[in-house]
Each structure stands twice: as C-alpha cells, then as structure tokens.
Structure 1
C-alpha cells in the first residue's frame, strides 16, 4: 500500500513528515546523531531488514538529510553522515526523547542529554531565541506570516475558539526569561 504524499501541502509539519514521517527514518536519524554511521551498525541497532534499511537510507539521502561517503572500495562500503539539515533534526530527536521519557518509558530509559563541560543533565525546553522565554501554550500561538491556503486558514480559525478557551484555563507561567548560558 502506497502512503499518501504530503509534498504539495503548504504546512511545514506535513512537508517535514514527507521526509522523516516513517518511524525507521526517525530511528536512523537518532542513530546517526548518536554517532553510528555504518550499514551493519544500523542493522544491529534497529533489527531492521537489509532491504528496508537500504530503502530508508536512500530516501534520507534523496531528502538531503544524509550523505554517504565511501570508506573502502573493495568491497564498496559507505559511511552515512548527517547533512546540515539532518543535524538540525537532532533537536526533534532530543525533544521526542524527552517527551517519550516523561510519558512512556519512565525508569526504563537510561539515556540523558548532558552538558559536556559541566557534566550536568540538560533540561531541554523550547525557548524563544529573541527573549529567552520558554515557549508555552499560554503566551504563544500560531498565526500567518503571509497569505495562506484555504485549508490552513480553516484549520487555525476553526480551532481558535477552543484553543483560546483552553489557554484561559492554564496557569500563567513565570515571566522571568530563561538564562542564556552561552
């Protein structure tokens, strides 16, 4: 069964899913961010069939998230590395890791993000790069930055009254911006 293509949708989430929406793709990108780079390493890590892995790696290469570089020519073997676009996906992988740990894996999870310089565990939170303020549903919402297609407009406008009512039930977050420790 062929999956539906999101390539013609103007939504950035749908367009992203066109490239990474398969769970194998996300797990391969996770493994690449961990430093794995060889076909046999992905097979071992994921327990994935070689034909499926080949298709997924080729799709990630076509999408511009991964590059392959030959490390030997007899027999021909490749290292797979993240492109800039693939490296940018690491924040998504880390957000999924935090969300999955909080809601699903609990004590079964034994991996954490930590600061290499201090050794302290990182509390990964989305922040506004302009203000340092944590992104939250009370103070932040979506809007159009230009003309929108009719379906996107319908989606945001239909949900607005429920979104606004829900926002009113949320406690007001602290107004203190987060410290930027760069």
Structure 2
C-alpha cells in the first residue's frame, strides 16, 4: 500500500479563530516547509521548480504549502515575469512583513545550532556587505526587553 501524503496522515488543529496572535501565526506559517518557502522567496525563488529544487520537498507537499501561503495572503501567484505560461509566487506585503521572523530564526540558529567556527550561510547588508546586528526586542521608549520585562494581557474566558 503506498504511503499517504503528510497532509492526509495528520489531522491538523486549526487556530484561525484563536485570540492568541502566536497561534494564528503558526496556523498560517508554522510548519517548517512554509517557513523555508518564505525564506527561499526572500532569497529570490519565484517558481515552483526553484522551490522544489532548493528544498527537495515532495511536489504534493510543496503544492499544499504554496496553496496555504497563497490562501493566507503571504504569497501571491502571478503570471511569470518572462511572459511564459508559468506562474510565479511573490511575497505580498504580509509576506514581506515576515522578514524579521526569518532573520530572528537565522540569528537564533547561528547562536545556538553551530559549533564555534563551523561554516554557515550569512545574511549581509547588500549595500555595506556586513552581517546584520542582532535583533532586539525594544520597549516603546527604546529599552531592551527580555521575557521577564513583558507580560501577556489575555482576553477573559468566555
């Protein structure tokens, strides 16, 4: 018997009506394939074949993830820029707003998942050619914050 697709094997809990912004975000872009597709879109990938070659993901899974990202307004499917019959996927403003998320994941990975001196890709400022400084969480008045400096104001239970 052939294996089922990843989507058919896992019954997914939906969070699109949750009061938590993190849950709603995870609902749209929270699996690893979706985040890597967004990363590749920032790196210039636009066509299905480019995403598939870069990620090595099965075509059915890539199709499902692209469909979800388009439905969620993260990517838009547009006619190919070269006038061919192909479609391309471009980041929408909502998708471009994920840039700090991708940078934060990259910087966390650089700090925590590589041995000292171990080579890895680097994100650099195109104009200056320098690595980016570490992202910081800042208060409205510019103070650096850590988890102990924040609290979540949750909605009352209905």
Q: TM > 0.5 between the two?
A: yes
TM-score (norm 2): 0.82
C-alpha deviation, 1:80, in angstroms: 0.6
Deviation at residue 73 of structure 1 after TM alignment: 7.0
Structure with the higher fraction of residues in helix conformation = 1
Residue deviations 1:88-119 (CA, integer Å, cap 9, x gap)? 11111110011111111344452222223332
TM-score, with length taken from structure 1:
0.72
Within the candidate set 139, 142, 146, 1:132 is matched to: 142
Shift of the 27–108 alpha-carbon distance from structure 1 to 2, 3 Å rule, reads farther
Instruction: Map Cα deviations across residues 3-38 of structure 1 (whole Å, 9 max, x no partner).
Output: 111122210000101101111101100100111111
1:109–1:36 distance in 2 versus 1, CA, 3 Å: farther
Superposed counterparts of 1:84-123, under 5 Å: 84-106=93-115, 107-123=117-133
> Equivalent residues in 2 for 1:52-63 (5 A)?
52-63=61-72
| Per-residue deviation, 1:51 | 1.2
Local SS of the residue matching 2:87: strand
User: Is residue 136–residue 144 contact of structure 2 (8 Å, CA) maintained in 1?
Assistant: yes
CA distance in 2, matches of 1:108, 1:43: 27
Distance 1:96 1:125 in 2: 10
Aligned residues: 147
1:36 aligns with 2:45: yes
CA distance in 2, matches of 1:24, 1:55: 10
Residue from 128, 140, 155 that aligns with 1:148: 155
Unaligned runs of at least 5 residues, structure 1: 152-182
Give 1 or 2 for the bigger CA radius of gyration. Answer: 1
SS in 2 for 1:124: coil
Question: Structure 1 stretch 11-20 or stretch 1-10: which is displaced more?
Answer: 1-10
CA RMSD of aligned residues (A): 2.1
